[in-house]
Structure 1
Amino acid sequence: MTIRGTDAETVRDAIENEDPLPGTTGFAGEVDGRLVRDVLGRVPLFVEGGVDEPTPEEWAFSPTDLEEPTAFPAGTVAADGDWTHCWQLPNPDPDTDHERALERVDRAIRTATDATPDGNVAVAFSGGVDSALVAELLDAPLYVAGFPDSHDVEAARTAAEAMGRELTVVELEPDDLERATPTVARAIGRTNAMDVQIALPLFLVAQRVAADGFDALAVGQGADELFGGYEKVARLDHRVEADTVRGAVREQLHTLPAQLPRDVLAIEAGGVDPIAPLLCDAVVDAALRLPTELLVDDEMRKRGLRIVASAYLPESVANREKKAVQYGSLVARELDRLARQAGYKRRMDDHVTKYVRSLLADDAL
């Protein structure tokens, strides 16, 4: 019996009651001969491709431990060749009492941060509301990784100053990306440009945090998906299928099982444990109950989260917009530049991915 993220009894109860949000921060592994992975796929789990009844040697928490790793589906219980989609995300009616809905979110986030295990924890800090709220409630040291002229470094500096906090800046150089890319691509089991660009800053900040003696790195992951942080959700444009904001938010939540293993594996490869308080079950449940007006309006995305955060953060931080990490850190720009310098020109199809794969091949020699 090997389970990560919670205890076996909690998983047994969740299976028996078909409870998708049993009060955890995600789980995966084996319980009573059954393979399980939580409804949002917050803990990575892989099986050998084409295997219906994985033996203990044919499943793993890391893709590097298998020959042909395939992600085990989120929300699934598998035993004796029978794979059952046991858990579905709840779909509660929106709470029209705004004050009650916001209090539920506030209480859930405080419960999640209060439950963070004691120990040496640092925070991956971009200066946006998500990581700032986590940092304030955990009262943990702040770290940001990025190139010296990057948006994330400047935003983190001004936010930390507004919060009266010290900040450690992990200033990146092109050599850092060239060195780290093979390690990151191997750890996450992916070579496509986008995933590697997102994973690199997480890995590099985790590596620095580990070198500074910390055991865990807390992140603000999940807030954009849960609270309506994407422009495409606010606009209901061609990138979403839903015709309502709440429907579009649910669409984004269904992307998490594919995204989160990348982030978890990158941080673990850096030498620390990942902690994502905003993805605990209580926060997910509270976010699912928010009405449209507390998700987005004409002027603001993640409106409910920002209202809650304003009780803890300066207004300039609570209301700040942020860039995606690969762009805010300038990692995407610099990896593209390295690819072109190595002969992988933009006219080539997916030139950065080809460059990543070349680094992996060279590293294997």
Structure 2
Amino acid sequence: MIHGADLATVERAVENHDPLPDGPGFAGELPDGRLVRDVLGRSPLFVEHSGTQWAFSPTDLDDAVPFPAGHVGDERVFSLPDPPAFADENEALTAVADALDASLALDAEGLAVAFSGGVDSAVVASRVDAPLYVVGFEGSHDLDAARESAHAMDRDLRIIECTHADIERAVPLVARATGRTNAMDVGIALPLFLVAERAVGDGYDRLAVGQGADELFGGYEKIVRTDHRVDADTVRGATREVIAGLPDQLERDVLAIRAAGAEPVAPLLDGRVVRAALRLDGPMLATDEERKRIFRKAAREFVPGEVAGRKKKAVQYGSLIARELDRLARQAGYKRRMDDHVTKYVASLLESG
């Protein structure tokens, strides 16, 4: 059983050692019994620590560990390509725009869009007639940004105003589904879960997300600074380091969305988009003044200029969910002077829930 792509595509990829065929990622079991997972880990896969059983969710196993991305059976078959950089920005812009155009040909049946108002989710929403959902506490940056971007795009927006009761109810569900209790992971997964949950309640079973753009296209300050947070000394090298962390991040995000009953759709992680992104270099990715430079330029073919250039906070901060999760932890007696006080609070909710 294969998840994410048809068997023929996966078998061709394995035979040709092709790490990035067109389309989404894949994971599962080949007819010969070997397990397979794509190079970016876009589809989670788990095995029992003993190696005797496997599943798409860690909760279906007694002692689950992730099956490594890029592996077929015991062998690493897929590695992230290192192609030559584009000759100039015009070539890069054309290639990225064409890849986005191909990846955004989404089936709208049963589809909703997680929409924070930033360029990533706006590009995903631009070519599909599907409802847009945003979640956040009243007064949050994400609610304001989503309203402004939806207005600029002439799209209706469904707003989920979060409450403390929502957080307390959802935290155990998210922590159990993802197997994570640390404050950062829970803070990121909660908005995805809450959006997916509302979309499912409205009758949708697929959620389009903008995951991957920051990693692929240079959305992080640390890749420009090449500081202590990365080993590389170039923007392109630092970006590849960030991309290498996608399997762990995507596992969390996919599991959170599935826990709400929806299947994630991530067009910005389509093989065509990834191949184009890997050929970007230096200022094509980011400068001190602007992150995701070529991506934002390409985005102007899909969304209004003010949306393509909009700066946005990370979802856990833009939604104010991280702030309110911290507030709830302190109200429950887990003070900031304690190590990992929010993580301890999350663990307590998991035990009681």
Which TM-score tier does this pair reach, normalised by the shorter chain?
Answer: over 0.9
> What residue number does 1:14 align with?
13
Which of 302, 327, 330 pairs up with 1:312?
Answer: 302
> What residue number does 1:42 align with?
42
State the alpha-carbon separation in 2 of the partners of residues 315 and 11 from structure 1. Answer: 38
Q: CA deviation at 1:235?
A: 1.7
3-state DSSP class of the match of 2:123?
helix
Number of corresponding residues: 352
Q: Residue 71 of structure 1 aligns to which amino acid in structure 2?
A: P
> What residue number does 1:225 align with?
215
State the alpha-carbon separation in 2 of the partners of residues 110 and 316 from structure 1. Answer: 20
Are 2:101 and 1:110 aligned? yes
3-state DSSP class of the match of 2:82?
coil
Contact 1:96-1:291 at 8 Å conserved across structures: no
Q: CA deviation at 1:98?
A: 2.1
Contact 1:46-1:63 at 8 Å conserved across structures: yes
State the alpha-carbon separation in 2 of the partners of residues 85 and 191 from structure 1. Answer: 30
Are 2:63 and 1:97 aligned? no
Contact 2:134-2:142 at 8 Å conserved across structures: yes
Tell which deviates more after alignment, 117-126 or 319-328: 117-126
Contact 2:108-2:129 at 8 Å conserved across structures: no
Contact 1:233-1:249 at 8 Å conserved across structures: yes
3-state DSSP class of the match of 1:40?
coil
3-state DSSP class of the match of 2:216?
helix
3-state DSSP class of the match of 2:323?
helix
State the alpha-carbon separation in 2 of the partners of residues 187 and 117 from structure 1. Answer: 27
> What residue number does 2:230 align with?
240
State the alpha-carbon separation in 1 of the partners of residues 86 and 188 from structure 2. Answer: 34
3-state DSSP class of the match of 1:338?
helix
3-state DSSP class of the match of 2:349?
helix
State the alpha-carbon separation in 1 of the partners of residues 161 and 188 from structure 2. Answer: 16
Q: Residue 114 of structure 2 aligns to which amino acid in structure 1?
A: A
> What residue number does 1:343 align with?
333
Q: How does 1:1-365 map to 2 (within 5 A)?
A: 2-31=1-30, 32-49=32-49, 51=50, 54-55=51-52, 58-78=53-73, 83-114=74-105, 116-363=106-353
State the alpha-carbon separation in 1 of the partners of residues 336 and 83 from structure 2. Answer: 46
Q: CA deviation at 1:17?
A: 1.2
Any unmatched runs of 5+ in structure 1?
Answer: none
Residue deviations 1:78-132 (CA, integer Å, cap 9, x gap): 1xxxx11111000001011322221111111111111x23412111111110000
Contact 1:216-1:272 at 8 Å conserved across structures: yes
State the alpha-carbon separation in 2 of the partners of residues 317 and 118 from structure 1. Answer: 22
3-state DSSP class of the match of 2:80?
coil
Q: Residue 313 of structure 1 aligns to which amino acid in structure 2?
A: V
State the alpha-carbon separation in 1 of the partners of residues 197 and 184 from structure 2. Answer: 20
Residue deviations 1:220-265 (CA, integer Å, cap 9, x gap): 0000000000011122122111101010110000000000011011
State the alpha-carbon separation in 1 of the partners of residues 116 and 164 from structure 2. Answer: 20
3-state DSSP class of the match of 2:289?
coil
State the alpha-carbon separation in 2 of the partners of residues 202 and 17 from structure 1. Answer: 35
Contact 2:134-2:157 at 8 Å conserved across structures: yes
State the alpha-carbon separation in 2 of the partners of residues 84 and 332 from structure 1. Answer: 39
State the alpha-carbon separation in 2 of the partners of residues 89 and 71 from structure 1. Answer: 19
State the identity %.
Answer: 63
3-state DSSP class of the match of 1:138?
coil
Q: CA deviation at 1:28?
A: 0.4
Contact 2:108-2:130 at 8 Å conserved across structures: no
Contact 1:123-1:140 at 8 Å conserved across structures: yes
State the alpha-carbon separation in 2 of the partners of residues 265 and 291 from structure 1. Answer: 32
Contact 1:121-1:216 at 8 Å conserved across structures: yes
State the alpha-carbon separation in 2 of the partners of residues 44 and 225 from structure 1. Answer: 18
3-state DSSP class of the match of 1:300?
coil
3-state DSSP class of the match of 1:209?
helix
Residue deviations 1:116-149 (CA, integer Å, cap 9, x gap): 2341211111111000011112232211000011
Q: CA deviation at 1:291?
A: 2.7
After TM superposition, the runs of 4+ consecutive aligned structure 1 residues lying more than 6 A away are none
